Amino acid sequence: MSERLQKLIAQSGLCSRRKAEELLTAGRVTVDGVVASLGDKADPTVQTIAVDGAVLHLEEEKVYLMLHKPRGYVTTLSDEKGRKTAADLVSDCGVRVYPVGRLDMDSEGLLLFTNDGDFMQTLTHPKHQVDKRYEVTVTGELRNAAARLAAVEDLEGEPIIPAQVTLLKEGGGQALLQVIIHQGKNRQIRRMCAQVGLQVKRLRRVGEESLTLGDLPAGKWRYLTKEEIAALKGKETP
């Protein structure tokens, strides 16, 4: 049965429907070798759909998993510089999955992977304001560090939603802060800290919405439970 291409691309897990529409508009999608347009339909059972020349494979079963990303891994499927990728750590799950958002190479902690493009859109689109919780070890000017960080309302002139910041522990010239953000600006927490005179020594994502990293060892992954998936999908707009 023929369906709109942006829906099929999202179902493959490659990207969200919104991003798929951009790919179509840019002429990067073909059907049986012919460049497709936004609004076109195709039947994947009898036609070959490709994005940037790579044939699209529709995944029958949706997969949702959590990785404890260690430091030193980039959040990409491959890296032209030969660096270690987070995707390498989940390659044994049996299907091609994609990272939901990103963690900087020097950051660690909870990172979701899926082949469900619409689910990915739910968790990454700014309108859903998904809570992401971090534990951040900082040095520098520690007096009122939590309050100063929570007061940051813009990054280099770009407005942001203020973070919720709690001091967890302080001593030995450093502080451990819990930071909850609702956006995913590039290196947002590191830039916020630098703006108020704090240096980040360790940045670890420990939770996302109702999910917690728990005692999952670094470099290991696990499937999300049905209950965890349902709770996250509850963020979707009707």
What domains sit in the chain, N to C, each tagged with a CATH number? 3-55 (3.10.290.10), 64-127+211-233 (3.30.70.580), 131-208 (3.30.70.1560)
CA distances from 62 to 125, 204, 206 (A): 20, 27, 24
Largest CA distance in the chain: 65
Pairwise CA distance, residues 180 & 129, whole Å: 11
φ, ψ for residue 228, nearest 5 deg: -65, -40
**What confidence tens digit (pLDDT) does each residue in 78-93 have?**
778 889 999 999 999 8
The answer to whether 192 and 145 are in contact (CB under 8 A) is no
Taking alpha carbons only, the member of 125, 123, 165, 116 closest to residue 145 is 165
Q: What is the pLDDT of residues 6-20, one digit of tens each?
A: 988 987 878 888 899
Structure tokens at 178: 């819990």
- Residue 138 backbone dihedrals phi, psi, to 5 degrees: -130, 155
Least confidently predicted of 23-37, 43-57, 98-112: 43-57
The pLDDT value given to residue 237: 42
As annotated, the active-site residues are: 104
Global pTM?
0.75
Residue 112 has pLDDT above 90, yes or no: yes
Alpha helices in 68-125 (DSSP H): 86-89, 117-124
pLDDT above 80: residue 127: no
CA 154 from chain center: how many Å?
A: 22
